[in-house]
Amino acid sequence: MSISRRKAISLIGGGVVLAATAATTAFVTTRTPHKALAPWLAAGSYAEPRKFALSFAILAPNPHNRQPWIVDLSQEGKVVLLRDKQRDLPMTDPHNRQIIIGLGCFLELMGIAASQKGFEVEHDLFPDGEDGPVSVSTFRPGAQPVPLFAQVMQRRSCKEPFSDTAVPSRLVRELSKFAKIIDRPDDVAAVRKLTLDAFKVEALTPHTMRESVELMRLGKSEINANPDGIDLGGPFLEALMLTEQLTRESQLDTNSSGFRQGLDIYLEMLTATPAYAVLATASNDRKDQIETGRKWLRLNLMTTRLGLALHPVSQALQEYPEMADHYRSAHDMLARPGHTVQMLGRLGFGPTVQASPRWPLEKKLAHG
Ligand SMILES: Cc1cc2nc3c(=O)[nH]c(=O)nc-3n(C[C@H](O)[C@H](O)[C@H](O)COP(=O)(O)O)c2cc1C
């Protein structure tokens, strides 16, 4: 979750006024966490084809930006993808379903990037069962470049309010090849209510909220030191941190004004949604989850191409007891009986947002 200037101004609520002095201008311009964003600039700068592809794969969407990937390049022409189990989300993702979807996004992005160098990538998924590698992926010459690569550097999860503009039916038709699109006003209203109710459960359940708060990186130096998790940065949020209006403690205290304001801002964002995209599967094994990630990545690149914003909103799909009622409603509403809703995302026209932090590729290689 990164919070925009607009939201930050409403959070400040007039309590702190930043005068436009030379000092504040300097403060504003020095708050970008350049080190945490450097992997976006390094993407594509490797000659070795696997590293070239991986330098883009690490930019994949993934839950809470945990980046749960480790890659072993010790076998020639192969990438062995391992799940970094230290990066699980035990409270909000107890079965690692979402973590595996993120790894599917990673594999798809790796394949799309490899195609730019003429390589086809074949994935052997979970060859040793669930506890072994996620994939042993073999690079072979012979691929045509996948056109969606053109959108890789602009792709985002857009965690902002969307405009009131409906998604034009021509674009709905185009995206329906990638996901089920919900745009009928009654259906949209029902899903919107579900996302609001489910978000309140996550925020008001102490153990799930604590998991998120522990992953918050507050300000530039924390973001640069740990370029993952929930990055809360930028000049306005950092001003709130300086005046102690935004702290880990306030975010854990549901009675604090900081918590209440943060919740209101998030609910306002969720409300500003004209359509949704849904991916569901008939069964729910690890391969289904990888396939979902691959589809989500392509959907996200396609929304980028069409000028649309996409934002996963996963709360109602999470498998912990406090969420059970909303989980059931989500499945009644969004999937056939017995199927699993794997991804739900807000869809609409949103603002341009900054890229999110990443660990550099070198930190993700099994043997350094
Ligand atoms: C399986 C999955 C679930 C996600 N769920 C949420 C969510 O509930 N709320 C949210 O704000 N972002 C969610 N995201 C988006 C991630 O937070 C985002 O991908 C990550 O922070 C990196 O940002 P980027 O996609 O803009 O590069 C999810 C992503 C994936 C792959």
**Domain ranges (residues) in the chain:** 5-28+156-348, 36-154
Give the model's pLDDT for residue 22: 60
Angle at alpha carbon of residue 249, lines to 267 and 1, rounded to 5°: 40
Report how far residue 270's alpha carbon sits from residue 286's, in angstroms, rounded to the nearest whole number. Answer: 29
The one-letter code for the residue type at 22 is: A
The tokens for 202 are: 């996550």
Ligand 1 atom with minimal separation from the 62 CA: 31
Q: Is the CB of 98 under 6 A from ligand 1?
A: yes
Q: Is the CB of 61 under 6 A from ligand 1?
A: yes
The 10 Å Cβ neighbour count of residue 45 is 10
| Ligand 1 mean position, distance from CA 155 (Å) | 12
Long-range CB contacts (< 8 A, 24+ apart) of 76-80? 77/50, 77/138, 77/139, 77/140, 78/136, 78/137, 78/138, 78/139, 79/50, 79/53, 79/54, 79/110, 79/121, 79/135, 79/136, 79/137, 79/139, 80/133, 80/135, 80/136, 80/137, 80/366
Per CATH, 5-28+156-348 and 36-154 having the same topology is answered yes
The one-letter code for the residue type at 60 is: A
Q: Is the CB of 358 under 6 A from ligand 1?
A: no
Q: What contacts 194, CB < 8 A, 6 or more positions away? A: 316, 326, 329, 330, 333
β-pair partners for 312: 345
The tokens for 139 are: 């690079």
Q: Is the CB of 323 under 6 A from ligand 1?
A: no
Q: 1, 62, 96, 105: which to mutate for ligand 1, most atoms within 8 A of CB? A: 62
Q: What contacts 133, CB < 8 A, 6 or more positions away? A: 72, 80, 81, 82, 126, 127
Q: Is the CB of 33 under 6 A from ligand 1?
A: no
Residue nearest to atom 4 of ligand 1 (CA): 63
| Ligand 1 mean position, distance from CA 230 (Å) | 10
Q: Is the CB of 63 under 6 A from ligand 1?
A: yes
- What is the value of pTM for the model shown? 0.94
| Ligand 1 mean position, distance from CA 68 (Å) | 13
Task: Just give the CATH number of 36-154.
Answer: 3.40.109.10
CATH class assigned to 5-28+156-348: alpha beta
Give the model's pLDDT for residue 24: 59
Q: What is the mean pLDDT of each run of 10 residues along the chain (368 residues)?
A: 48 41 63 95 98 99 98 98 98 98 99 98 98 97 98 98 98 98 98 98 97 96 97 88 89 92 93 98 98 99 98 98 98 98 98 97 90
Report how far residue 82's alpha carbon sits from residue 214's, in angstroms, rounded to the nearest whole number. Answer: 24
Residue nearest to atom 17 of ligand 1 (CA): 64
The tokens for 109 are: 């992005």
Give the model's pLDDT for residue 235: 86
Query: Is the distance from CB of 83 to CB of 69 less than 8 angstroms?
Result: yes
